[in-house]
Amino acid sequence: MITRFAQWQLSDRGLHEVLFGGGEAFADQRRAHARGLDRLVEHARRAGAIRQDVTAEDVHVGLLAIASLRTRSRPVMRRLVNLVLAGLTPAEPGARSPARAPAPARATGRAAG
């Protein structure tokens, strides 16, 4: 899904505004997208496709990072997609899990911890 999303962003510049833009334009669609992402992440967690500590907010941040590079070359985009996917994927049995920074506090913008 993330790889297809990145490819879609390279070809459709309006996608960024619809999904991540501010204001009231497309607000209902963004809320529906957020609910769908919550369900998708929960399903992926239950299926073992992503790490158990991954949240929809984590995926959203990864997608925002990908969106920020939409004007870059395909190799740059592919590198970032691979890094995001590596961070979401469960470690092999016995492997060390990557360190996890505290999630930022929503209201204050300061790190929780």
Residues 14-52 have pLDDT tens digits of 776 666 666 677 788 878 888 999 999 999 999 999 999
Cβ neighbours of residue 3 under 8 Å, at least 6 residues apart? Answer: 81, 85
Task: Output the CA torsion sign for 101, 82, 9, 43.
Answer: negative
Residue 97 lies inside a defined structural domain of this protein: no
Residue 106 lies inside a defined structural domain of this protein: no
Distances (CA, A) of 4 to 13, 77, 78, 113: 14, 11, 11, 34
pLDDT tier for residue 106 given thresholds of 50, 70 and 90: very low
In terms of residue numbers, what domain contains 71? 28-91
Residue 15 lies inside a defined structural domain of this protein: no
Residue 40 lies inside a defined structural domain of this protein: yes
Instruction: Name the β-bridge partners of 104.
Output: 111
Please tell me the total count of domains within the chain.
1
Residue 19 lies inside a defined structural domain of this protein: no
pLDDT digits (tens, 9 = 90+) for 59-71: 988 888 887 777 6
Residue 73 lies inside a defined structural domain of this protein: yes
pTM recorded for the entire structure: 0.66
Q: Measured at the alpha carbon of residue 42, what is the angle toward residues 37 and 87, in degrees to the nearest 5?
A: 80
Residue 98 lies inside a defined structural domain of this protein: no
